[in-house]
């Protein structure tokens, strides 16, 4: 029997018992819809985290202070800070796989001006910082190399600080005070939003590192050094080269441990990828239970259908239908029913994902391959759970089937 005839017979049988068919497929609809929604949430979360990692900078390598140790007890990351401007200068002069280098010096101060005051993170950086972090200005401009050399009292405000100090106003050219130091606002940074940990990246004031060092922080050690590799492919080489140059700069003996740490985005990405992967698997596993229940429902209904249509099966066999024809008929029927339920489930899942994203603000994303997989998997469920009823129908004795009422 050709496939077209088998599908036509399956559709005809499904239409004859439309209500029962709908209820039978309901488990598959719910199962596939749940899987699509869960996968959409998982993929959306992964995409969001990846975007946040990309926001950190272009081919970013971060050098941070190491840890001290006393009496065998580690002081923890950052407890031994020997990062200096000389380290940053050496990296910039001798690095072969580096495109840009910027020292970074953190401090905190109360920013006063405009219509209020706001305690913000002050970040002293070089002019290359904006390019390393891929962070442009929404208005105004970044400071210049000349501003760095002159220790100019100029700043660029993060979007949050600008809104707090100058709500509804243009802060460009305005003067504010950082602690006791008056500074002029040159620009406002583009908004980057929150990090994966929930920290506001826009709650920051950017100034020349020379200005922060001399007028605000009052210290020589750096908080970190940012390095941008020449390309993504050069990041591993940049990591190794940065470690070698830093050991030379700190005159560390061969046996001595590093007094610094060198990291790149791939470590963050791997950690985030692992977290979202586990979350997606758990969500998918929970939703797959509905598919299992739906498959069992199809098997039970098909077994009932075989019992109800025993006489029909006997007539078909008496008219020349082979066992494999009966097997194929019932198998195609369960597969079509399950695939149709899967298709409806996908449509409902896509709609539910869109509504959920609009109501909660969560990022949701469904790749086309997920849709294809969901429909194919639901059809497979139909084949798997329809096999037993189909075999029972095919194995019926013709005489006994004809006698059945």
Instruction: Output the average pLDDT for the chain.
Output: 79
Q: Which two tokens stand for residue 153?
A: 């009292």
CB 235 within 8 A of CB 53: no
pLDDT category of residue 73 using cuts at 50, 70 and 90 = very low
pLDDT category of residue 74 using cuts at 50, 70 and 90 = very low
Q: What is the DSSP string of 235-253?
A: HHHHHHHHHHHHHHHTT--
Q: Is 225 or 199 the better-scoring residue by pLDDT?
A: 225
pLDDT category of residue 216 using cuts at 50, 70 and 90 = confident
Phi, psi of 101 (to 5 degrees): -135, 140
* Half-sphere exposure in the Cβ direction for 195 (13 Å, CA): 11
Element (H, E) at 160: helix 159-165
Q: How far apart are CA 183 and CA 143, in angstroms?
A: 12
B/e letters for 11-21, b = 16+ CB within 10 Å, e = fewer, are eebbeeeeeeb
Q: What is the DSSP string of 174-241?
A: -EEEETTEEEEEEEEEPP--B-TTS-BTTSEEEEEHHHIIIIII--S--SEEEEEESSGGGHHHHHHH
CB 378 within 8 A of CB 291: yes
| Angle ∠(143,149,154) on CA atoms, nearest 5 | 35
Q: pTM (2 decimals)?
A: 0.60
Helix (H, G, I), strand (E, B) or coil at 324: helix
């Amino acid at each position: 029997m050709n496939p077209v005839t088998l599908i036509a017979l399956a559709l005809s049988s499904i239409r004859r018992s439309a209500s029962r068919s709908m209820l039978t497929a309901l488990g598959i609809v719910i199962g596939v819809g749940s899987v699509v929604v869960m996968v959409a949430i998982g993929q959306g979360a992964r995409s969001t985290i990846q975007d946040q990692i990309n926001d950190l900078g272009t081919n970013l390598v971060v050098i941070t202070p190491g840890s001290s140790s006393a009496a065998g007890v580690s002081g923890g990351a950052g407890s031994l800070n020997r990062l200096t401007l000389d380290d940053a200068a050496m990296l910039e002069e001798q690095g072969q796989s580096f495109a840009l280098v910027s020292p970074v010096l953190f401090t905190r101060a109360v920013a006063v001006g405009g219509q209020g005051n706001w305690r913000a993170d002050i970040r002293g950086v070089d002019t290359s910082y904006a390019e390393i972090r891929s962070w442009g200005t929404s208005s105004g401009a970044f400071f210049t190399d000349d501003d760095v050399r002159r220790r100019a009292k100029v700043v660029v405000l993060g979007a949050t600080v600008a809104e707090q100090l100058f709500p509804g106003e243009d802060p460009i050219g305005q003067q504010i005070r950082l602690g006791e130091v008056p500074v002029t606002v040159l620009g406002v940074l583009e908004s980057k939003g929150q990090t994966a940990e929930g920290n506001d990246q826009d709650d920051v004031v950017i100034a020349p590192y020379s200005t922060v060092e001399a007028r605000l922080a009052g210290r020589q050690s750096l908080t970190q050094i940012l390095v941008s590799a020449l390309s993504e492919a050069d990041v591993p080489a940049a990591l190794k080269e940065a470690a070698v140059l830093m050991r030379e700069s700190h005159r560390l003996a061969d046996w001595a441990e590093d007094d610094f740490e060198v990291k790149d985005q791939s470590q963050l990405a791997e950690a985030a990828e692992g977290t979202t992967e586990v979350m997606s698997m758990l969500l998918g596993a929970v939703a797959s239970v509905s598919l299992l229940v739906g498959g069992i429902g199809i098997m039970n209904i098909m077994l009932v259908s075989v019992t109800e249509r025993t006489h029909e099966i006997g007539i078909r066999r008496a008219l020349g239908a082979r066992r494999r024809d009966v097997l194929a008929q019932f198998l195609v029927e369960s597969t079509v029913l399950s695939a149709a339920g899967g298709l409806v489930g996908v449509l409902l899942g896509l709609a539910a994902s869109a509504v959920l994203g609009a109501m909660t603000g969560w990022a949701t994303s469904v790749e086309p391959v997920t849709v294809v997989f969901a429909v194919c998997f639901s059809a497979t469920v139909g084949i798997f759970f329809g096999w037993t009823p189909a075999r029972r129908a095919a194995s019926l004795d013709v005489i006994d089937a004809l006698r059945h009422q």
